[in-house]
């Protein structure tokens, strides 16, 4: 691959987003646009390709905000609603392009079939429903998107298995709490790593800030960006100043090129 990989952060927040509905927390009341976070997702673009990782409840808003006219596929990390609830909003792409490819663990695909049966069913589809082309992702089985080999990276989100993905020198992880050394080896050598950092206090299913920093130190990317950020982590501008060199908080609308 000789072209530039362009990563657009569509959302960098947790399952409730920031601000949280009805919250009077100072971060939720912040006027800084970098403290306003939609549900977590990224757009990965190169040549004429556009792939999105995760498709949460803010998907429509994100596609409009970043003027995404073409969608070549969606990669899912896991089945939680903040990563999947926007699937119905692929309809405009389906109407223009036909079946939209999705890439997911079998467990995640089964969950989507149950929750969005009208999209997957051959007998219960209503006129106007979108349709998808399901591609199952298996650990240790890279797959090709366009001219890039994508490497799945398996981790645990408490007890739930989640997939991260490495595109060339870019690795994207979210909702990670633990990871085996063998999976970490797949990340090493990345120029850019994105990984979750929820808050300072420990959490049962997410890296907190200390754990995320320790993880970055282990896999040693050239640059790291934290995502899936809670209001409890603090104000973007204040946290950013405390991070070590080469480590940053991502924010909605940030564009990184490799």
Q: What is the mean pLDDT of residues 188-216?
A: 97
* Residue 127 confidence (pLDDT) above 90: no
What is the extent of the structural domain holding 12?
A: 6-257
- Tell me the C-alpha distance between 112 and 80, whole Å: 10
Domain membership of residue 1 (yes or no) is no
- Tell me the C-alpha distance between 125 and 106, whole Å: 21
Chain segment 228-257, per-residue pLDDT in tens: 999 999 999 999 999 999 999 999 999 999
Domain membership of residue 145 (yes or no) is yes
Which DSSP string corresponds to 202-223?
Answer: --SSS--HHHHHHHHHHH--SE
How sure is the predictor about 150, in pLDDT bands with cuts at 50, 70 and 90? Answer: very high
Tokens of 183: 């999976």
* CATH number for position 171: 3.60.15.10
* Residue 30 confidence (pLDDT) above 60: yes
Q: Which residues, in sequence order, are bridge partners of residue 171?
A: 166, 193
Percentage, residues of the chain above pLDDT 70: 98
Domain membership of residue 147 (yes or no) is yes
Q: How many domains does the chain divide into?
A: 1
- Tell me the C-alpha distance between 40 and 11, whole Å: 4
Q: What is the mean pLDDT of residues 5-22?
A: 98
How sure is the predictor about 107, in pLDDT bands with cuts at 50, 70 and 90? Answer: very high
User: Does the predicted model carry a pTM greater than 0.95?
Assistant: yes
Chain segment 55-98, per-residue pLDDT in tens: 999 999 999 999 999 999 999 999 999 999 999 999 999 999 99
Q: What is the mean pLDDT of residues 199-223?
A: 98
How sure is the predictor about 128, in pLDDT bands with cuts at 50, 70 and 90? Answer: confident
Domain membership of residue 181 (yes or no) is yes
* Residue 124 confidence (pLDDT) above 90: no
* Residue 1 confidence (pLDDT) above 70: no
Query: Cα angle at 255 between 146 and 218, to 5 degrees?
Result: 85
How sure is the predictor about 3, in pLDDT bands with cuts at 50, 70 and 90? Answer: confident
* Residue 22 confidence (pLDDT) above 80: yes
- Tell me the C-alpha distance between 163 and 254, whole Å: 23
Domain membership of residue 189 (yes or no) is yes
């Amino acid at each position: 691959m000789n072209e530039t990989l362009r990563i657009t952060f569509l959302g960098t927040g947790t399952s409730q987003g920031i601000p949280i509905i009805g919250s009077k927390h100072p971060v939720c009341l912040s006027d800084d646009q970098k403290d306003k976070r939609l549900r977590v997702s990224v757009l990965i673009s190169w040549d004429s390709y556009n792939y999105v990782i995760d498709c949460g409840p803010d998907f429509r808003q994100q596609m409009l905000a970043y003027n995404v006219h073409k969608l070549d596929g969606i990669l899912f990390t896991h089945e939680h609603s903040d990563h999947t609830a926007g699937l119905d909003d692929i309809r405009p792409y389906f109407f223009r392009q036909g079946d939209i490819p999705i890439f997911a663990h079998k467990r995640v695909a089964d969950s989507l079939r149950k929750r969005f049966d009208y999209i997957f069913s051959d007998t219960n589809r209503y006129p106007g429903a979108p349709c998808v082309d399901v591609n199952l992702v298996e650990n240790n089985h890279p797959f090709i998107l366009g001219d890039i080999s994508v490497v799945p990276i398996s981790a645990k989100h408490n007890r739930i298995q989640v997939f991260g993905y490495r595109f060339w020198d870019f690795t994207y992880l979210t909702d990670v709490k633990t990871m085996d050394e063998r999976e970490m080896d797949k990340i090493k050598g990345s120029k850019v790593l994105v990984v979750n950092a929820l808050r300072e206090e420990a959490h049962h299913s997410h890296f907190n800030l200390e754990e995320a920093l320790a993880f970055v130190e282990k896999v040693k990317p050239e640059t790291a960006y934290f995502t899936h950020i809670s209001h409890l982590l603090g104000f973007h501008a204040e946290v950013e100043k405390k991070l070590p060199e080469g480590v940053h908080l991502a924010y909605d609308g940030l564009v990184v090129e490799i």
